[in-house]
Amino acid sequence: MPNTAHNRHDKSPAPAIRAYLGGSFDPVHEGHLQMAMTVYQRLLPIARLQQRDLHVSLLPNSRSPFKQKSTDPAHRLAMLKLATLNTPLQINELELWQTPPVYTIDSVRTLRERYPNDSLIFIIGMDSALNLGQWKEGLRLTDYVNLWIFSRPNVSSPSDMDNTLFATKKNNISQDTLAIQAKLPIQLQSLVIDSPTDLITPSSEMLKANSPLKNAHQGRIYIDTRPIKAVSSTQIRQQLQSLKEQPDITHSADRQMTSVPPINDIMHPNKSNPLTKWLNPAVYHYIIAHQLYSAAQFR
């Protein structure tokens, strides 16, 4: 499956399933990819059973309304393409080239207009979900899309996550989910469901089942209590700034403008580099080669 989204209406007979993870991706890291891939892997068997196309896309913004500055969109797009190579993830450039600030509510309206019959899901972290009241019309996102909220940014190793996968049964919401649900803005609490399958049930079927939905596109909310990697782009930029001060790193970056050395040649040979855990090697290579995230660029 290609890693760039097609800007056309889906022509398949069954409505497609489309999920979007928005953000600056400055830079894109393994936490982003883990969230998107988790959604993809969870929805794939459902999509196959229902014979529906599945598209999970990263949705980079031009610049977050909450930030004063972001890296050049061309660089962020190049890193996203490297990070999603050989994955089923796509990239949607809807927001990337617009004049900032660009607001999520406007994007989800556009997506709903573009795909009126498809199941649309917007993926966010719990910190964003708790602050939706501060977004422009943030509490109206569910008028257009469903929300998939990741609530537990805490995992020490891949094996830990495998051992703590949260299995929910229909009509049996976990105590963790109930506790998190109570923290959401009150207007959204009644929209929480216990299975991702309910996110992609055609709205007409939900209405026939006497669901308390207000309109044909009223979204639901799924809270995913499985752990995800705890890292932020801000932390990665800070680490990159500290590495920039090391002369061997700078020298290696200069060499990479004309050559492609192994990833181990980019890193400091005598120190463990935490960035290897959070960044795709090709993305790390790109950052060093293009000398991104210097201290002067991000203060």
Which residues partner with 56 through β-bridges? Answer: 19
For position 100, what pLDDT does the model report? 82
pTM: 0.78
Instruction: List the one residue out of 288, 289, 282, 290 whose CA is nearest residue 85.
Output: 282
- Distances in Å between the Cα of 79 and the Cα atoms of 217, 228, 241, 292 are 34, 21, 18, 11
For position 250, what pLDDT does the model report? 43
Dist. CA 289–CA 250, nearest whole Å = 9
**First vs last C-alpha separation in the chain:** 39
Residue whose pair of structure tokens reads 């469903």 in the numeric block = 146
Task: Provide the b/e sequence for 37-67 (b: ≥16 CB within 10 Å).
Answer: bbbbebbeebbeebebebbbbbbbbbbbeee
For position 177, what pLDDT does the model report? 87
For position 272, what pLDDT does the model report? 59
Count CA atoms closer than 13 A to 257's CA, side-chain side.
8
Could you report the average pLDDT of every consecutive run of 10 residues in the chain (299 residues)? Answer: 51 82 94 95 96 97 71 95 97 93 94 95 93 94 96 47 36 72 94 92 52 59 86 84 56 41 42 74 92 63
Dist. CA 82–CA 78, nearest whole Å = 6
C-alpha gyration radius of the chain:
20
pLDDT in tens, 57-116: 999 998 766 666 778 999 999 999 999 999 999 999 999 999 888 899 999 999 999 999
For position 1, what pLDDT does the model report? 53
For position 216, what pLDDT does the model report? 57
Instruction: Tally DSSP H helices, then E strands, for the chain.
Output: 13, 7
For position 262, what pLDDT does the model report? 43
> Please, is 91 exposed, middle or buried when counting C-beta atoms within 10 Å of its C-beta (0-12, 13-18, 19+)?
buried
For position 167, what pLDDT does the model report? 37
For position 174, what pLDDT does the model report? 74
Instruction: List the one residue out of 161, 166, 105, 162 whose CA is nearest residue 136.
Output: 105
Dist. CA 109–CA 115, nearest whole Å = 10
